Amino acid sequence: MTYTDKVPDLSFARLVRSRARGIALRDEGRAVGVLGLSDGSFFPADTIVRFDLVAGEDPGRRMSDALSSTGARAVWFYGGDDVARRGSADLTLQIVPSGAVFVRRMNPHVPRPDDLTLRPAGPRDRMTLSEVQAEHAPGFLAPETLFAQVGTEIVGVAMSEALDAEWTEVRVVVYPAYRGRGIGTGIFNAISDRLEAAGRLVCAAIDTVEGRGRTALERSGFRLADYYFTARRGAR
């Protein structure tokens, strides 16, 4: 399934949906859709994280059926998912942004520190590398990980993984002691330039709506593609 800008599901969304418990949605024995309930790892277990319908089905009606049959109280979806978005809107659920996807404009000509370089992990970095990937790369299967260095200091990590034949997702981690200096912007720019030079389209996601991550992405030439949303039932 592809959405705005033809961006495929990013790695975190793929992970969430791969762990979901699949449930067939039926009407008088006829299959009308499939939904997935969160396994509780990233969202509460009463959250629908996948909502696919047979063509021609009414999203609002089937969303109501799904909530009633499962006891779910929330739906998590990408804004470009027309079916889930329409179903949530038709039921007047309370919809709030809960993350975002960004895509990069090719060759945005963003300056970065002259002495910032990316290098592969060395023997002394292996433990740090595994820790960084475990904490900051949920959904990545086998990311290419490069350490960001300014002068002689290791300031962060850039991770990237291909999503399909065109798109590569990137993530950047700036070590706490170096945050607030614009280094995240420089690392995003460096890894994105590297991938675009190889003919790749580049995207990234954040799990908040605002903050340093968004600032770094926008300053390094990314633009908002769409939000992730959580739609909830109102208080009873």
List pLDDT tens digits, range 68-122: 999 999 999 999 999 999 999 999 999 999 999 999 976 666 656 668 889 887 7
| One domain for residues 51 and 147 | no
| One domain for residues 129 and 159 | yes
What CATH number does the domain containing 89 carry? 3.40.630.30
| One domain for residues 16 and 120 | no
Residue 203 near residue 168 (C-beta atoms within 8 A): yes
pTM of the model: 0.87
* Domain hosting residue 44, numbered range: 4-98
| One domain for residues 44 and 79 | yes
| One domain for residues 216 and 131 | yes
68: three-class secondary structure by DSSP: helix
| One domain for residues 175 and 93 | no
